[in-house]
Amino acid sequence: SGRGLSAEAINRWQIGYSLDNFEDLIKFLKTKKFNDNEILLAGMSFKSEKGKYFNRFRDRIMFPINDVNGRTVAFTARINPAVKDDRGLGKYINSPQTEIYDKSRLLFGLDKAKTAVKEKDELILVEGQMDAITAFEAGFKNVSAVSGTALTVAQLNLIKRYTKNIVLAFDHDTAGANATDRGISEALKQGFNIRIAILKNGKDPD
């Protein structure tokens, strides 16, 4: 991996790749008895103006997003590093909100971190998914990511199951600072103990 991830880490986080193909996943899911509308509602395809269905994710590195019980509910997809043209979609694209996926109600990696969070009675919160993966693989097992959103009431209610102690390690930029401010305000209202991790070298935990 160009990001320094071992084969073991790639397997643990189930990082994969979507082929540069418009229909292979749709065809595969249809062999599993899913129809076009179900695949669309699950966020795995999109529908063109002409009514044709295409794969949402093509030629991208795939990061599964799990709920707290470890069930995959969505994906983040990073552009293939070898490709210069993002087709106007951006470096990262994400699953849309669906009946089973609402990013404001879950934390990336908490399914893997929850045991360590309970043991240490502390959760380290980062912004990005690669921040969480890199930190976890470096030995910080009690880390999860908010995936670019400010901390929400639903996320804080989830955290309460495991700890009332939070360390915020957000990016050193304006967006990160604003997310930190909003997160602190909401968490303090709910009685959490908050600390801020100052990153002296680098703009983010990754």
| Residue range 151-181, pLDDT digits in tens | 889 999 999 999 999 998 887 665 455 556 6
d(CA 102, CA 41): 13
Q: CB neighbours of 96 closer than 8 A, spacing ≥ 6?
A: 43
192 pLDDT more than 90: yes
Q: Of the candidates 31, 128, 40, which has an alpha carbon nearest to the alpha carbon of residue 76?
A: 128
Q: What is the pLDDT of residues 54-109, one digit of tens each?
A: 999 999 999 999 999 999 999 999 999 888 776 777 889 999 999 999 999 999 99
**Do the Cβ atoms of 178 and 106 come closer than 8 Å?**
no
| Band of residue 199 on the pLDDT scale cut at 50, 70, 90 | confident
Which ranges of the chain does DSSP label H, i.e. alpha helix? Answer: 7-12, 24-31, 36-41, 110-120, 129-137, 153-159, 174-189
Res 162: pLDDT? 98
What average pLDDT does the segment 179-203 reach? 80
Res 108: pLDDT? 97
Stated pTM of the model = 0.87
What average pLDDT does the segment 192-205 reach? 79
